């Protein structure tokens, strides 16, 4: 699957920023699913639309899994029953929303003006990449950009105290689910990053680290959503926050009490870190929906342009569609059994799961030419390896900053943390008044090491 466009650039992109754009789905062509299915099923919906004001979407009807429920393959029926018992079908994973006043996610609904959001995303990305304002003129321009966004900033900060955060994700729509709210989350996070940079340029370290803490909390709540696209987006956001944090510590004086407050935020986030396995359960639910799309002959609605071009060079398109329909049961059974292994492996630290994961990936690659498992091995399972790495690097980066803050504050347990990415302990070097945290396994910080000043213990 190629819907991780730009995702792997996270490791190479020192700012951890995605290219701006509207988040509607995981795959670039998935809205073709909506358009074509609506046309395909319009006749069946005309009568219902006269009787109901809001008839169920044809795409969401597929989320009830009508095709696989008719399978005559006993092993597939058993696998589906296990998934239902786990609450892992698209219907069972689609959440019920709590009252807005209790739900942090509700604040992101149309938070920023729709007609300005694209501009705001593009401009905020440029400003964050620019880093600390170089002079008074740059600081003034940054302040002017932020001033009209104070209302949204205050609204998000107030909503962070709400007890729940449930985003409106229709897993029953599969890859065509509307995820546009993610752009509002991204923009809210960038507002805090820009506020952090502006405050730091003025020597206001307390306000600067307060904004960093808010940005971390926003990205963390997004990461607690199981949906793979949102989980990976949250990792990108968190990386951007940590990059700005390094810039702030490198720029000027930070007070011990401000660093201590930030350390509490980091520790609270690590204590409520989302389970990797939940992301792959959600990915499996999207896969279940994808096979329903295959069964009605819409295979190419699941593909990116690149995937469609590649497959069209290898197969006659009509023949391929019919073959994937004919093999849907066997293909789906293979996919679900493989995903069960992925989910089980995801409960282990990354460095422990990786050998077995590598063996699975090798098998999938070896079977890419097998038409009976084409959907699994060419479209769905390729997302697993890069997605697993993103999760591991995200946690390794956050733990590294926890080690850095602990070491800088003089806490005794700072060097006893095992990196879940590498399986080795982080290690700390000292040079004058500065500490350098190594062994992260990513390009975080300065050339793969976090630089942070020591904070003398209070007398």
Average pLDDT over residues 69-77: 97
Q: Rounded to 5 degrees, what are φ and ψ at 434? A: -115, 150
Q: Are 94 and 63 in contact (CB under 8 A)?
A: yes
Give the angle subtended at the CA of 395 by the CAs of 393 and 399, to the nearest 5°: 115
Least confident span in 29-38, 293-302, 367-376: 29-38
Average pLDDT over residues 141-167: 97
Distance CA 435, CA 446 (A): 12
Distance CA 255, CA 453 (A): 10
Residues near 142 by Cβ (< 8 Å), separated by ≥ 6? Answer: 127, 133, 194, 197, 198
* pLDDT of the residue at 49: 35
* pLDDT of the residue at 36: 39
* pLDDT of the residue at 448: 87
Which of the four pLDDT bands, split at 50, 70 and 90, describes residue 197?
very high
Q: What is the mean pLDDT of the chain?
A: 89
* pLDDT of the residue at 42: 35
Distance CA 459, CA 457 (A): 6
Query: Sign of dihedral through CA atoms 301, 307, 313, 316?
Result: negative
Distance CA 403, CA 160 (A): 26
Q: Name the more confident of 215 and 13.
A: 215
In the chain, % of residues over pLDDT 90: 80
Smallest CA-to-CA distance from 137 within 126, 145, 125, 148 is with 145
Which of the four pLDDT bands, split at 50, 70 and 90, describes residue 253?
confident
Q: Name the more confident of 161 and 11.
A: 161
Smallest CA-to-CA distance from 383 within 206, 159, 181, 175 is with 175
Q: Are 174 and 61 in contact (CB under 8 A)?
A: no
User: What is the length of the chain?
Assistant: 459
In this predicted structure, the answer to whether residue 109 has a pLDDT above a threshold of 90 is yes
Give the angle subtended at the CA of 265 by the CAs of 262 and 267, to the nearest 5°: 110
Please measure the distance between the N-terminal and C-terminal CA atoms of the chain and give it in whole angstroms. Answer: 57
Q: What is the pLDDT of residues 27-65, one digit of tens each?
A: 543 333 344 343 433 333 433 333 334 566 789 999 999
Distance CA 237, CA 13 (A): 12
CA dihedral 335, 338, 339, 341 (to 10 degrees): 170
Which of the four pLDDT bands, split at 50, 70 and 90, describes residue 447?
confident
Question: For residue 73, what is the DSSP state?
Answer: -
Distance CA 53, CA 63 (A): 20
Which of the four pLDDT bands, split at 50, 70 and 90, describes residue 89?
very high
Distance CA 262, CA 206 (A): 10
In this predicted structure, the answer to whether residue 72 has a pLDDT above a threshold of 80 is yes
In this predicted structure, the answer to whether residue 105 has a pLDDT above a threshold of 60 is yes
* pLDDT of the residue at 34: 41
In this predicted structure, the answer to whether residue 15 has a pLDDT above a threshold of 80 is no
- Tally Cβ neighbours within 10 Å of residue 323: 17
In this predicted structure, the answer to whether residue 17 has a pLDDT above a threshold of 60 is no
Structure tokens at 283: 């990915």
Q: What is the pLDDT of residues 302-352, one digit of tens each?
A: 988 898 899 989 998 889 999 999 999 999 999 999 999 999 999 999 999
* pLDDT of the residue at 161: 96
Q: How far is CA 14 from CA 141, 240, 244, 427, 448, in A?
A: 24, 8, 10, 22, 10
Q: Which helix (H) or strand (E) holds 434?
A: strand 434-438
In this predicted structure, the answer to whether residue 9 has a pLDDT above a threshold of 60 is no
- Domain residue ranges of the chain, discontinuous segments joined by +: 9-23+96-166+179-274, 404-453
In this predicted structure, the answer to whether residue 121 has a pLDDT above a threshold of 80 is yes
Q: Are 167 and 105 in contact (CB under 8 A)?
A: yes
pTM: 0.89
Which of the four pLDDT bands, split at 50, 70 and 90, describes residue 457?
confident
In this predicted structure, the answer to whether residue 427 has a pLDDT above a threshold of 90 is yes
Q: What is the pLDDT of residues 201-245, one digit of tens each?
A: 999 999 999 999 999 999 999 999 999 999 999 999 999 999 999
Structure tokens at 246: 């390094």
* pLDDT of the residue at 55: 61
Q: How far is CA 194 from CA 180, 199, 329, in A?
A: 22, 9, 50
Average pLDDT over residues 277-295: 98
In this predicted structure, the answer to whether residue 11 has a pLDDT above a threshold of 90 is no
Average pLDDT over residues 270-285: 98
Smallest CA-to-CA distance from 173 within 33, 376, 78 is with 33
């Amino acid at each position: 699957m190629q819907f991780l466009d730009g995702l792997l650039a996270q490791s190479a992109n020192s700012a951890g920023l995605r290219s701006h754009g509207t988040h509607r789905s995981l795959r670039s062509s998935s809205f073709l699913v909506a358009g074509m299915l609506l046309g395909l099923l319009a006749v069946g919906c005309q009568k219902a639309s006269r009787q109901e004001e809001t008839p169920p979407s044809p795409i969401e009807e597929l989320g009830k899994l009508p095709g696989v429920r008719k399978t005559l393959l006993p092993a597939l029926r058993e696998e589906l029953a296990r998934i239902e018992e786990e609450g892992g079908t698209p219907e069972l994973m689609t959440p019920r929303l709590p009252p807005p006043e209790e739900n942090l996610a509700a604040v992101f609904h149309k938070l920023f003006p729709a007609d300005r959001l694209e501009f705001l995303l593009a401009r905020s990305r440029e400003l964050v990449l620019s880093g600390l304002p170089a002079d008074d003129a740059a600081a003034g321009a940054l302040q002017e950009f932020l001033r009209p966004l104070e209302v949204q900033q205050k609204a998000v900060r107030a909503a962070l105290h709400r007890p729940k955060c449930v985003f409106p994700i229709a897993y029953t729509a599969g890859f065509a689910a509307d995820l546009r709210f993610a752009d509002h989350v991204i923009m809210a996070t960038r507002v805090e990053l820009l506020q952090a940079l502006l405050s730091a340029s003025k020597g206001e370290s307390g306000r600067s680290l307060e904004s960093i803490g808010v940005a971390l909390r926003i990205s963390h709540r997004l990461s607690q959503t199981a949906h793979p696209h949102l989980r990976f987006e949250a990792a990108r956001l968190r990386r951007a926050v940590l990059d700005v944090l390094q810039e702030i510590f490198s720029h000027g004086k930070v007070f011990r009490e401000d660093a201590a407050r930030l350390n509490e935020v980091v520790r609270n986030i690590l204590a409520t870190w989302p389970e990797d396995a939940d992301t792959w359960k959600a990915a499996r639910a999207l896969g279940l929906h994808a096979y329903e799309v295959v069964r009605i002959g819409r295979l190419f609605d699941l593909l990116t342009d690149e995937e469609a071009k590649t497959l069209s060079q290898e197969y006659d398109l009509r023949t391929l569609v019919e073959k994937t329909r004919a093999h849907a049961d066997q293909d789906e059974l293979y996919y679900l059994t493989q995903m069960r292994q992925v989910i089980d492996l995801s409960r282990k630290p990354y460095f422990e799961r990786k050998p077995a994961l590598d063996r699975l990936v090798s098998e999938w690659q070896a079977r890419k030419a097998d038409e009976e498992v084409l959907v699994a091995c060419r479209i769905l399972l390729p997302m697993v390896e890069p997605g697993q790495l993103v999760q591991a690097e995200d946690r390794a980066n956050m733990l590294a900053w926890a080690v850095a803050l602990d070491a800088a504050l003089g806490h005794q347990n700072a060097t006893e943390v095992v990196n879940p990415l590498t399986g080795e302990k982080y290690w700390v070097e000292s040079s004058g008044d500065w500490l350098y945290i190594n062994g992260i396994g990513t390009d975080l910080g300065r050339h793969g090491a976090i630089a942070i000043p020591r904070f003398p213990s209070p007398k």
